[in-house]
Amino acid sequence: MFAGIVFLPLLGAIVAGFFGRIIGDRAAQIVTCALMLVSMLLSILAFVDVALGGNPRTVELFTWIQSGALDVSWALKVDTLTAVMLIVVTVVSSMVHVYSVGYMSHDPAIPRFMAYLSLFTFFMLMLVTADNLIQMFFGWEGVGLASYLLIGFWFQKPTANAAAIKAFLVNRVGDFGFMLGIFGCFLLFDTVNFDQLFQAAPEAVGQKINFLGMQLDALTTVCLLLFVGAMGKSAQFLLHTWLPDAMEGPTPVSALIHAATMVTAGVFMVARLSPMFEYAPQALMVVTFFGAITAIFAATVGMVQNDIKRVIAYSTCSQLGYMFFAIGVSAYSAAIFHLMTHAFFKALLFLGAGSVIHAMSDEQDIRKMGGIWKLIPLTYGLMWIGSLALAGVPFFAGFYSKDIILESAFASGSQIGHFAFWLGILAAFLTAFYSWRLLILTFHGKPRADHHVMEHVHESPKVMTIPLIVLALGAIFAGFVGYEAFVGDGRAEFWGASILVLEGKDVIEAAHHVPLWVKLLPIVVGAAGIATAYFVYMLRPGTADAIAEQWRPVYLFLLNKWYIDELYDFLFVRPVRWLGRFLWKEGDGRVIDGFGPDGVAFTTRLISQRTALLQSGYLYHYAFAMMVGVVVLVTWYVFSRMA
C-alpha cells in the first residue's frame, strides 16, 4: 500500500510523459488523474491505519548506498507526521490534477503538463516518506527540478523562463546549506538515518565543531545549516524572492507547488528533525526570528500588490512565517496543523483565482476587474470561504490553526516568542485587510475591464468547480475536525514518537491557559482588517489612492517588495554579470583567443602559408635554393674556423 502511494504518480508521469503523443491528450489526463486519485484513497487508508490506529512502520525497499560507515537504505518511513503529509499532498494534488483537465484544456502540451504534475507529486511523496537525510535530499532536489519545469512550462514567455531560473538558483543557495547540514550530521553521528540520528542527538549537546576557523556548538551549527535549506524551499525572508515570480507558471502550478506542498517541505523537514532541534535552543531562536520577520514582511508587501496571484503568493509566504515561528517556540504540532489547514484554503484561493482568470480572458490585474460577482457566483462564494479561513474568522479552518500558533508564541514566555506574537498579530490584521481588498477589487464595484472581456465572463466548468468545492470543505471543517488530535488533549497519543518536545517545553499545553485577551485579540484585529478594507475600497473608493500619494515613499517601498530584489541585483547580479563579461572579453577573448586561435595558431598558420609559397614546382628554383644553402654553410664554416 505504501509503495503504491508513492510510485503510482510516477507511473502516471511515465505514461503521460513518454507515451502522451501516442495515447493522446484525453488518455494522458485520465491516466494521471486516475492514478493520483488511487494514491489519494490509499493515503486515506494509510492515515487511518497509521495515525488513527497507532501503527507506524518503516518499509525497507532495498539497500541504496553502502560505503564504509555510510549505510543508506531506500525505505518508506510512515508515522503520524508522514501520514498527515500524505493526506495533504495527495488530496491537493488530486484536486489540482482534475482541475487542470478544464483549466489547461486549450493548451497544446497537455500530456507534458500532466506528466510534470505527477512527477512533482512523486518527488514530494518521496520526500515526506524518507527514512534518512539522503533520501529526503533526493525528494528535495526532485521537487526543485519539477518546480523548475512547471514554472517554465510556457517556455515561449521570457518571463516564465526567467522565473524558473530564478527559483532554481535561489533554491540552490538553500540546498547548499542543506547539503552542509547533511555532511555535518554524518561528521557528528556517523549516520544519516533518522532513528539513529535522533537517538544520538542528546549525546551531541555541548560538543564543538571547527567551522570556518571558529569553534562552534556542533548541534546548533548543523541545525542552522539544515534550516538554511528550509529557508530556501519554504521562501523565508532573504531567500523568498523566487516565490512571487513563480506565479509565471500556470495557475494549477501555483496551487500545487507554491501553496500546499513544495513550500511546506521546509516546515516538514524541521518538524521531522524536532529531536535534533529541541537540543539546539539557539537554532530554534533563529527559526522563530526569521519566521516572524517573514510573516510581517510578506503581509506588508501583499497589501499593495495588484496581480491576483501575487497577492495570494505573498500570503503564502506570510503563512509559512507563522508555521516557522510556531516551530521556533517548539509548537511543532501547531505548525503542522496550520500546514494542513493552509493547504486546503490556500489551494482553494489559488484555484479560485484561476477560475477568475479563466472567466476574465486571462486577465490577472485586479485593477482591471470588478463587478463580476453576479456573473460567477460559485467562484465568488468559494473565494469568500478561502478568505474567511485565511483571515482566521471563526469557525473556519484558519481560525483554529493560526490562533493556536499565536497563543503558543505568547505562552512560550520568551522575548523572542513575544516578538513573534506581536508581529503575528500585526500580520493577522494585514492578512484580513489584503484578503478583503482582493475580494472587493476583484468582484465588487463597477466593471473596470473593457466590454469585450465582460461579454465573455462565465462560470468555470464542473471539472474545475468540483475540486474547488472539495477544497472548500477542507477550508471549512479541517480545523474543527483536527483540533483535538493535532493540538488538543489527544495530541500526545496522536503524534506518538513522530514529534519530540522536551519536558517543560510544552507550549501548546500552556497556550490553552493564556489570558482571554490573547485568545480574542486575533479575532479583533482580523475584524478590524476586514472593516478597514471595506471602508477604504467600498465606502470610500478613492481613499487608497490618496493614502498611496500622501505616503508615496512608504507605498513604493512596499510595492517594490522592500527593494530586496534591487539589493540582490546590486550586490550579486551586477558584479557576477560584470565578472562574466570581463572573463569573456578579456580572459577568453584577449588572453585565450589572443594567444590561441588569434595568436600562436594564427602565426603558425601564416608561416605555413608563406612557406608553402616556396614550393613553386620549378627545378631551377630548387637548384638556386640549394646553391644559396651551400653558400651559407661554406660562409659559416669559414668564419667559424677564423674565429
For 417-424, the CB contacts below 8 A with 24+ separation are 417/288, 417/328, 417/329, 417/507, 419/288, 419/289, 419/292, 420/288, 420/289, 420/291, 420/292, 420/295, 420/325, 420/328, 420/329, 423/292, 423/293, 423/295, 423/296, 424/292, 424/295, 424/322, 424/325
Per-residue pLDDT at 602 exceeds 90: no
Q: What is the pLDDT of residue 87?
A: 94
CA distance 149 to 397: 32
Q: Which pLDDT tens digit goes with each residue over 458-495?
A: 898 999 999 999 999 999 999 999 999 999 998 989 99
Chain segment 418-444, per-residue pLDDT in tens: 999 999 999 999 999 999 999 999 999
Listed in sequence order, the DSSP H helices in 234-331 are 242-245, 251-255, 265-272, 274-277, 281-302, 308-328
Q: Give, for 396, the enclosing helix (H) or strand (E).
A: none
Average pLDDT over residues 514-518: 95
Greatest alpha-carbon span in the chain: 118
Band the pLDDT of 259: cuts 50, 70, 90.
Answer: low
Query: Quick one: 609 exposed, middle or buried, by C-beta within 10 A (0-12, 13-18, 19+)?
Result: exposed
Q: Is the pLDDT of residue 520 over 70?
A: yes
Statement: residue 523 has pLDDT above 80: yes
Q: Report pLDDT for 248.
A: 86
> Cα separation of 374 and 206, whole Å?
64
C-alpha cell at 27: 488518455
d(CA 233, CA 82): 18
DSSP labels for 439-488?
HHHHHSSS--S-HHHHHT--PPPHHHHHHHHHHHHHHHHHHHHHHHHHHS
Q: How far is CA 78 from CA 41, 58, 61, 269, 309, in A?
A: 16, 6, 13, 14, 34
Q: What is the mean pLDDT of residues 608-623?
A: 79
Q: In this structure, what C-alpha cell is assigned to residue 303? A: 497589501
Using CA atoms, how far apart are residues 447 and 451, in angstroms rounded to an integer? Answer: 9
Rounded CA separation 111/18 (Å): 9
Residue 253 has pLDDT above 70, yes or no: yes
Helix residue ranges per DSSP H, 583-618:
593-595, 601-612
Residue 197 reports pLDDT greater than 70: yes
- Which class for 540: exposed (0-12), middle (13-18), buried (19 or more C-beta within 10 A)? exposed
pLDDT of residue 561: 92
Least confident of 267-281, 542-556, 621-635: 621-635
Q: Please give the single-letter amino acid code of residue 147.
A: S
Phi and psi at 370, nearest 5°, equal 100, 150
pLDDT at 643: 63
Planar angle of CA 637, 642, 643, nearest 5 degrees: 100
For 379, left (φ over 0), alpha (ψ -120 to 50), or beta?
alpha
**Omega prior to 350 cis, within 30 of 0:** no
Identify whether the C-beta of residue 277 lies closer than 8 Å to the C-beta of residue 284.
yes
Helices and strands, number each (H, E), in the chain: 30, 4
Of 215 and 520, the one with more pLDDT:
520
At 260, the pLDDT band (50, 70, 90 cuts) reads: low
Single-letter residue type at 583? L
State how far the Cα of 104 lies from the Cα of 89, in Å rounded to an integer.
21
Are 103 and 358 spatial neighbours (Cβ–Cβ below 8 Å)? yes
Give a three-class secondary structure readout of 103-171.
HCCCCCCHHHHHHHHHHHHHHHHHHHCECEHHHHHHHHHHHHHHHHHHHCCCCCCHHHHHHHHHHHHHH
Q: Which of 393, 273, 271 is nearest to 335 (CA)?
A: 271
Model confidence at 613: pLDDT above 80? no
Q: What is the per-residue pLDDT across 42-93, written as a single tens digit (0 to 9) for each?
A: 999 999 999 999 899 999 988 888 888 888 888 999 999 999 999 999 999 9
End-to-end CA distance of the chain: 100
Q: What angle do CA 457, 462, 464 make, to 5 degrees?
A: 75
Distance of alpha carbon 318 from its chain centroid, rounded? 13
Q: Locate cell 667559424: which residue?
A: 640
Per-residue pLDDT of 5-31, as tens digits, reads 999 999 999 999 999 889 999 999 999
Mean pLDDT of the chain: 91
**pLDDT at res. 585:** 83
Q: Check whether 405 has a pLDDT greater than 70.
A: yes
Least confident stretch, 325-329, 408-412, 603-607: 603-607
